[in-house]
Structure 1
Amino acid sequence: MSTRPSSPAGSSSIESSVKAAANRLTEAFRSRVPCAPISDLIGPDDVVSAYRVQTLYNARRQANGSAVVGRKIGATSEAVQVQLGVDQPDFGVLFDDMAYVDGACISMDELLQPKAEAEVAFVLDRDLATGNLDVDQCRAAVAYATAALEIVDSRIAEWDITFADTVADNASSGVYVLGTTRRTLEEVAPVEVQMTMTIDGELVSAGDGAACLGDPLHALTWLARRAREFGEPLRAGQVILSGALGPMCAINPGSTVTAEISGLGSVTAHFSTKPTI
């Protein structure tokens, strides 16, 4: 993923800091050992540099064989913004090795500090690369919507993050699970859906479509415009995780997480118990 915005030209210190931050996140991803915040390298509010770190970090995953299959929007609900201590949405990349089927058992060895969010996912059947990229155009580009669990994760120890940290860390991406019920936007209005999420049968989160930037389609529109700005517009076939409909909740080894989203059915993921060393 490339970006058009860039930090001031001729700043070797900024370039060095971006590379150092990407190196830190890459090693945390490789070793499965959380690292110190990277905001000490690029600054907590340097969004331009943070996206440059994300680009470099993600390019290394692609070099190792991971393929881009979509995008995710993060921090779309006020509840999650409060939990993360941020005040605006961000976006990251979805890779093929992040995807799981409904009912899958996900190894906790693949994750560091996972938390679950329930979301509306969109799958596109048209590119969103030209035009006004307004709500009507983005709506028309959606093949179908489905329920999704996003398992957010952070390479930053103790989730001690600023906005720059979460952006650089591929928007705190972990893995995701799509449900099997598919609905066109003629059949369901994303803004009207109601969500409940349980962990081991206990209700832990609830919300609705309006919690996601006022409407998950508004989130999609925001993303389409940002992605084009950054030189990598949304493409047909991509999966778009539109953002949480309610608070995220930590996952423990051995847990089962289920989200129910009205009109879109349910989606479940099981999590393995980490082996004893």
Structure 2
Amino acid sequence: MEAGTISQAAQAILDAYDTGKPIEPVVDQFPGSTIRDAYRIQKEVVHQWLAGGDTVKGHKVGLASLAMQTQMGVNQPDYGHLLTSMFQLEHLPIDASTYLQPRIEPEIAFVLGRQLSGPGVTVADALRAIDYVVPALEIVDSRIRDWRISIVDTIADNASSGGVVLGSKPTLIHQADLAKVSCVMSINGKTTGTGVGGAVLGSPINALVWLANTVGPLGTTLEPGHVILPGSMTRAEPVGAGDVVTATMGELGDVTAVFTDSDEQ
């Protein structure tokens, strides 16, 4: 893609945020778009947010589990940026109308205590860099109409990022075997999904290693204090106003998101 086309595609995604109206798939509007193009589009979208005063507070790995890859029809992970404006507080009302087509998924969030920069990051490096973990719920969303996404579409759309809710119980990394941590997600008291940490690339730690080694050569360093979402332990489920979502993750504790509409806040 030419630079002008990258800017055009990024603006289409930004317009969807502004208008609340999803757009047609990027691959339909811009035939021949590649994964490399998609990351360039994502970078331009994030650049515009930063120019508007937002800040990067972490990154996410998307499509890291077989369940999510199967659900979305892809065969590899991707990554996106987490911005300050995306973080929501646990138990407090979240305006569902902020999102276009929201879904929710449970994750084990890493909070970094040290800088992590690839290439060459190992599992040992990643473990040393983690300050603690907390249970999290990621609100995924798509600016692409009806979630008709390819890997190119979701990458361009910042890995279908929407929001993040962090639990309040920190656990040191050596206090839990993350691959064996079990998860039960419920919506309005009904179980909607179960999973284990090992569903995420064999272990959520592997997702962190993949992320550091993928973004490092692109000039991005994972910074102390940043939140890293390694990928979902279950399928994503649709949510809307009136829904209360809880993910319980054994010894890691639980996290709850409460969705309302703007008139109830």
After superposition, the C-alpha distances for 1:133-174 in whole angstroms (9 at most, x for unaligned) are 100100110000010000000000100111000000000000
How far is 1:44 from its partner?
6.6
2:15 to 3, 10, 27: 27
Conserved? CA contact 2:118–2:215, under 8 Å: no
Please tell me whether the aligned partners of residues 119 and 212 of structure 2 are also in contact (alpha carbons under 8 angstroms): no
* CA deviation after TM superposition for structure 1 residue 63, in Å: 1.0
> Partners in 2 of 1:101 and 1:40 — Cα distance?
36
- 1:148 counterpart (131, 136, 141): 136
Shift of 1:84: 1.0
Distance 1:100 1:189 in 2: 27
User: How is 1:182-193 mapped onto 2 (pairs within 5 angstroms)?
Assistant: 182-193=170-181
Look up the SS of the partner of 2:219 in the other structure: coil
Q: Distance in 2 between matches of 1:182 and 1:113?
A: 30
CA distance in 1, matches of 2:13, 2:55: 19
State the superposition RMSD in angstroms: 1.5
Determine the structure 2 residue equivalent to 1:91: 79
Q: Contact 1:155 / 1:169 at 8 angstroms: preserved in 2?
A: yes
Which residue is 1:231 aligned to?
219
Give the match's secondary structure for 2:71: helix
Instruction: Provide the rounded CA distance (Å) in 1 between the counterparts of 2:236 and 2:46.
Output: 24
Map 1:203-214 to 2 at 5 A.
203-214=191-202
Q: CA deviation at 1:17?
A: 2.3
Gaps of 5+ in 2: none
Question: Is the Cα contact below 8 Å between 1:42 and 1:50 reproduced in 2?
Answer: no
Which structure has the highest helix share of the two?
Answer: 2
What percentage of residue pairs aligned between the two structures are identical? 37
For residue 250 of structure 1, the aligned residue among 229, 235, 238 is 238
Normalised to the residue count of structure 1, the TM-score between the two structures is 0.92
Kindly provide the amino acid, as one letter, of the partner of residue 16 in structure 1: G
Within 5 A, what are the aligned runs for 1:161-180? Answer: 161-180=149-168
Q: TM-score, with normalisation over the residues of structure 2?
A: 0.96
Q: What code does the residue aligned with 1:55 have?
A: K
* Alpha carbons 1:20, 1:41 under 8 Å: kept: no
Are the counterparts in 1 of residues 118 and 217 from structure 2 also a CA contact under 8 Å? no
Letter in structure 2 aligned against 1:49: D
Conservation of the 8 A alpha-carbon contact between 2:115 and 2:223 = yes
Q: Which runs of 4+ in 1 moved over 3 A?
A: 41-45, 273-276
Q: Within 1, Cα distance between the matches of 2:134 and 2:251? A: 9
Aligned residues: 264
Q: 1:9 corresponds to which residue?
A: none
